[in-house]
A and B are shown apart, each in its own frame.
Chain A
Amino acid sequence: MTWNWDVAKDFLPELGRGLLITLEATALGSILAFALGLVWAMAFRSPTRFVRWPVAAVVEFIRNTPLLVQLFFFYYVLPTWDIKFSALTTGVIALGLHYSTYTAEVYRAGIDGVPKGQWEAATALSLSRGRTWTAVILPQAIRRVVPALGNYVIAMLKDSPMLALIGVVDMLQKARAEGASSFQYIEPYTMVGIAFIVIAYPASLLMRALERRLGH
């Protein structure tokens, strides 16, 4: 093992800049995944099966195919339809869409967990469908699923290096560039790996604490 501290020190600022992009992609992807997931979860409860079935089929398909291939699909196919996004935007869309199919299940479990009496009470008060969702069901459902959603943020963080493969300049891409230009592979890749552990482990401890706090 020939670890060179000078190389490590030189790479550190690059790692920092890559980390910002990694976190940005994760944060934007999470927002998209949370929003779309809620849309899917509410569509699952739609009274008409012409909404339920297509949504279920699409969600099932996205969930069972690799994020990497979806990423390439968006990156190479969208421009042929004259829809042009930057690599980062494309990456965020793919990440958010993929994980929305997981968060949809989380929301669904949360919504199913709201006692039936709450729906009946909303009907008895003759609340509109929109009010029932926003004022009665969702506030109770979402509070409970926050830790589970948080776990998907961590999972997204760990999947975000895939974005490097379409050219997003995140931590992994910085390490690849460093390796390609100076043949310094050991330090950059090792530092990127450690950076993930340093972020993901405390985050998962936090989520566990949160799960306990919200009292299951």
Chain B
Amino acid sequence: MTAGLWENWLLPGVWITIQLTLFSAVFAAVVAFGIGIARTSRLWIVRFLTGFYVEIFRGTSALVLMFWLFFVMPLAFGYQLVSMWAAVLALGLTYGAYGSEIVRGAIASVAPAQREAAIALSFTPAQRMRRVILPQAIPEMIPPFNNLLIELLKATALVSAVSVADITFAAQLSRLATGDSLEIYAIILVLYFVLAFVLTRLMRLLERRAKAGIGQAPVKSDKGPLVTRKLSARQESEQSSNIITGGAQ
């Protein structure tokens, strides 16, 4: 691989990937909290609509959604987003839908007595959420959010299919220019792995901080994998604990 390709395409590609991950993560977090909290609403119509949103965006494929935003939206609504922002929108909407399940699960796992105590102290529902429920729910959310963030990082590779110049796109260009497939793709895979590793470490740090903030002992990192596993059809933390407790009598 020649020096020019590395400086002109790969390094900017890494930067684009980092930016994409950051922006989509922020957008996805906003969606996740908005939808996740709205799903605990007392009004059935709010619960129904947010539930509908989650099923739609988890049901379809992120790549198909991205193609839809790129090719159909401009034709159907006469509105064309800059490719980078269309990508952020697609990733944020999809991973926000997955994230909302994490938020909902964590809110549901806060001890009911905490909620009752807040009602007894005549907190308003908003105060209850902001001062009692969320501060306890957020530390619970961090480990599953970590998994989701890694999934999001990996999904940013999809944007290369719609010509956003991220690492994967740079790799394709380099391959066309030099023909060194093995070398280039091996480098790219290692780059993604390093990014994932850094993200995981940062999230671990955040988790320790958050747990310490509400007076819980930081969990000793178990012998489990660096990042656990992919969120599939439903919230996985719940599922894995089910599997584990299912057999241990």
Using Cβ atoms and an 8 Å threshold, which residues of chain A touch B150? 64
Contact A60 B76 (CB under 8 A): no
- Does chain A have a CB within 8 A of B115? no
Contact B65 A216 (CB under 8 A): no
Contact A77 B182 (CB under 8 A): yes
Cα A95 to Cα B157 in complex, Å, equals 15
Q: How far is the CB of B201 from chain A (nearest CB, A)?
A: 12
How many residues of chain A have a CB within 8 Å of chain B? 65
Residue in contact with B181 in the complex, picked from A77, A102, A112, A155, CB distance below 8 Å:
A77
Binary interface encoding of chain B residues 220-242 relative to chain A, with 1 for a CB under 8 A from any of its CBs, else 0 = 00000111111011100001101
Contact A66 B157 (CB under 8 A): yes
Contact A185 B226 (CB under 8 A): no
With CB as the reference atom, state the residue of chain B lying closest to A140.
Answer: B247
Cα A58 to Cα B226 in complex, Å, equals 12
Contact A155 B233 (CB under 8 A): yes
Q: Which of B39-47, B133-141, B167-175, B207-215 contacts A (4 or more CB under 8 A)?
A: B167-175
Contact A112 B232 (CB under 8 A): no
Q: Which of A9-17, A83-91, A124-132, A194-202 contacts B (4 or more CB under 8 A)?
A: A194-202
How many residues of chain B have a CB within 8 Å of chain A? 59
Given that A63-B227, A154-B233, A216-B246 are known contacts, is A172 also in contact with B63, CB under 8 Å in the complex?
yes
Residue in contact with B168 in the complex, picked from A59, A68, A155, A211, CB distance below 8 Å:
A68
- Does chain A have a CB within 8 A of B111? no
Cα A186 to Cα B69 in complex, Å, equals 10
Using Cβ atoms and an 8 Å threshold, which residues of chain A touch B217? none
Contact A175 B77 (CB under 8 A): no
Q: How far is the CB of A129 from chain B (nearest CB, A)?
A: 20
With CB as the reference atom, state the residue of chain A lying closest to B200.
Answer: A64
**Chain B residues packing against A (C-beta within 8 Å):** 55-56, 58-65, 67-68, 71-72, 75-77, 150, 153-158, 160-161, 168, 171-172, 175, 181-182, 185-186, 188-189, 192-193, 196-197, 225-230, 232-234, 239-240, 242-249
**Would you mind naming 26 contact pairs between A and B with Cβ atoms under 8 Å apart?**
A2-B76, A56-B225, A59-B225, A64-B226, A64-B227, A65-B193, A66-B155, A66-B157, A68-B157, A68-B160, A69-B192, A73-B181, A76-B181, A77-B181, A105-B229, A112-B247, A114-B247, A144-B243, A145-B243, A192-B64, A193-B60, A193-B61, A196-B59, A196-B64, A197-B60, A200-B58
Beyond A113-B246, A148-B243, A160-B61, 12 additional pairs, beta carbon < 8 A: A2-B76, A65-B154, A76-B175, A77-B182, A102-B230, A112-B247, A193-B68, A196-B59, A196-B64, A200-B58, A200-B59, A203-B233
